[in-house]
Each structure stands twice: as structure tokens, then as C-alpha cells.
Amino acid sequence: MDIQDIKDQPLHTLLANFFMCEKCRFVDRDTNRFAVGYKCHQCGTPSEGGRLYFPIGALSLIDLMQEFYHLNDSNAKNNSNQEKNNQLAVVIFFCSLTEVYLQNFLEELMATIGIPIKIQERLLADNLFVRTRVEKLFPTLTGMKWKKALRNLTAKVEVELDYEYTAKFYLRVSNARNKFLHAGNKGAIHKDMPKQCLEQIWPLSCLFASLHNEFIAQPLINHLKPEDINKND
């Protein structure tokens, strides 16, 4: 089924239904994790009830993308300005979704390493934008460059996902959003971009689940310790 044809079911239930083991913190789509006593296939620990991995705010953004995308099917058909507003909304929500996913991952990673909350907040504040977070903060915390991590993860997946493409797509969409909002360039957001944003929700969700399993669920080897982060203070 084409993702754009789904209207009657919240999109997040299909594209972001990832769950986490509270013990080993492995993330997957095993809905049995909600059953009390169900043993994690990674660590064997019985479940205490399961936990959704992605934050509620991210799931709401996915459903908002779905809602505004389909507004074009009805009341915006004869109103070009309304249609453009709906398209812009989908693009903005996609950018926000990426940013929420990234911050959630970084917060989980820093908590796993043992970085104090105040230091976490400072590191995030010093790296406000996605570009600096992936180019500076990510390699500081993981010991690996962002692009190399994406290449490695893409090589591991069994399905056809290209995480490098997904990351580049976000940058392209973010650039289009900024041109529209800050420069008034209405042509920056082309007609197919909202549909492409919907199509990229799944690989984006898989990307951050994979990042979590690579750097958080598995033992952190050769990663910086809290004292390494604070050594210049």
C-alpha cells in the first residue's frame, strides 16, 4: 500500500511503532514486549509491560504530517494559498520530527554514558542546530563521524534503506523550509516534497532505532566517559 493512501489509521502506528527492553534497552518492533512476563529475545529478561521508544511528541508530529497532507484532498483543492500552507506544514513537521528524533537519541546516549543533566543541557545548547549536532556533538560522544555511522548502519540492514540518502533528504527539505520562511521563496517547496516527506518517515524512524541499538543498547566500547567531556572545564 502506498503511504499516501493511508487516511483512517494514525500513521505513527505503522511507521514508528518501536519498543524498547527496559533491561538491555534493545529497540525493535516486537509488540509482544507489552505482555508482562514476555522474555526479551536479546537478553532474556521478562517484560514489565513494555515501553514505546520514540517520544509522544514525535508520534504526534507524524500524525500531523498525515493530517495536513490529506487536507489537500478536500478543502484546499480550489485554494492555492491554502494548499501551499498545507504543503509547508508537512515540510515543517518533517523537519521537526528529525530534530526531535536526533535530540532524543543524543539525550539517551548522554544519559547512558553518564553525563550529568546540566552538562547535557549545555552541550545541546552549544550545538543548537542539526548540522552542528551531527558534525560536532555526535562524533564527540560516539568516537565516530556521522557519515561513517550512516554508511555502517546502511550496510547492516537487510531491507532496502539508504540512511545516507535520508540524512541528505532532511538537509534538502530543511533548506527549502528556510528559503520559504525566511526569504519568501514559494518555489523552494516543490509539489512532490510533502509526499516525499511522508515516504521518508519510515527510513528516518529505522535510522534512529538503528543508531540507538548501535550506540546505546550495545556495550559502549571506546566511547568517551563523563570525565572526558568535562576535562576542559
CA proximity to 193, closest of 214, 206, 220, 174: 174
Question: pTM, whole model, 2 decimals?
Answer: 0.88
Question: In whole angstroms, what is the distance from residue 212 CA to residue 215 CA?
Answer: 5
Q: How many CA atoms lie within 13 A of 202 on its CB side?
A: 16
Q: Which residue has the cell 540512511?
A: 163
pLDDT > 50? residue 233: no
Residue 115 vs residues 5, 32, 154, 208, 231: alpha-carbon distances, Å: 44, 32, 28, 20, 12
- Burial string for 131-150 (b: 16+ CB within 10 Å, else e) reads eebbeebbeebbebebeebb
Question: In whole angstroms, what is the distance from residue 116 CA to residue 99 CA?
Answer: 22
Among 54-68, 77-91, 182-196, which is the least confidently predicted range? 77-91
Q: Which residue has the cell 541528505?
A: 168
pLDDT at 75: 55
**Grid cell in block for residue 52:** 514505546
pLDDT > 90? residue 29: yes
Question: In whole angstroms, what is the distance from residue 216 CA to residue 106 CA?
Answer: 10
Is 40 within 8 Å of 33 (Cβ atoms)? yes
Among 55-59, 156-160, 164-168, 228-232, which is the least confidently predicted range? 228-232
